[in-house]
Amino acid sequence: MTTLLAFLVTLAILIVIHELGHYLVARWAGVKVLRFSVGFGKVVASRVDRHGTEWSLSAIPLGGYVKMLDEREAPVAEAELGRAFNRQSLGARTAIVAAGPLANFLLAIALFWVLFLSGVPIIKPLLGTPPAGSPAALAGIQAGDTVLAINGEAVESWQDVHWLVLKHAYDDDGLRVDTRTPTGGERDHVVRIDERGEGFEQSPLRALGLVRYLPPLDAVLGELVGDGAASRAGLMPGDRVLAVDGEAIENWEALVERIRAAPGRPLRFEIERAGRPVTATVVPDSVEIEGVGTGRIGAAPHLDPGFLAMIQGEARYGPVESFMRALQRTWDLSIFSLKMLGRMIVGEASIKNLSGPITIADYAGQSAQTGLASFIAFLALVSLSLGVLNLLPVPLLDGGHLLYYFAEFLTGRPVSERIQEIGQKIGIGLLGLLMFFALYNDLQRLLAG
């Protein structure tokens, strides 16, 4: 229910904001709006306001539309010709169409601004021991190093590390990682990227060997997933795992390694619970990671406040700096989205990076359960993604209409209806293909999980 509710809230906010952009600029330009609909298909509820606009809720919630008075769709009374969309100037029509995606970008900026202003929880950019032979190990990175910058861009958190690695993952010269050692010295490293296979795209940090530093944790269970293997076996938060199949467990990392190596295989846990010995049989769920079955029991480690203070912090900025950071974040993510789409088109990146409504719903639920800040960040990301998508020069999308208007600007006359009909068919095909791959990827992730 949390996932479904979060998904519906996400859709409602994004659709209303996008269509509200079209609606407000249309009203400003003097165009009569006949219907403002959240959703497609059959209207299930509606109300007509004093301006004659029908505000509707339709049966299929995956989108929405603003229907304006237009001679191309139906006859228009002579007295209202001046309020028809098709009678407006090229500039007015362009502004009305561009207002939808612009509203999504403005929403993303506003949400990021709120996050930066109110304080963003961060994880300190401390590096753990890189796996032997990994690019990070070969570059000389060591446990305890603090990342200061990547390719010249300052780093303040582990989230920055993740983002900058994604941003520069396709740079030909690799990653230039500046670090500070535990003794205070500063060093420069060049992390080479020799190959960018599917494993790299799914987890570039892991592929490069850039792992987060975690102080040794006791093998004590914290929060449990409601339907996970640990809960099904009767384990409880606070249980201390002493041994698995007779093998002593010294810390949380050893426990994780033991579980990962036994997907679907019964394990005998020896536990200390409130000072008393307890035994339980746990069968780890099998989760496919990079094509390999991996055990998981749905349990997080118990974290005491001292541990959290060691690895966590908070980034908070003033109103002006928060706004500038929000602008920069929106710009960077938008350009990154376009670059990734371009790489998928030319085959440099896998189409498995595409996500559809099932994945969006899943992430909406996860972010909502994590907290308000996570949900706001997720909402901002999806909003700007929607803005970028709608600006693509594909017929049926806002970007397709803007492409027609650009052609009209160059030639001095509107694009013919025949060309628009052909474009519409091409647009339907392209969007259908895009949705097919997105849904296919969604189902693959669902079945693999």
Mind telling me the catalytic residues?
19
- Contact of 142 with 129, CB cutoff 8 Å: yes
Residues forming a β-bridge with 37: 56, 65
- Contact of 213 with 126, CB cutoff 8 Å: yes
250 exposed, middle or buried (CB, 10 Å; 0-12, 13-18, 19+)? exposed
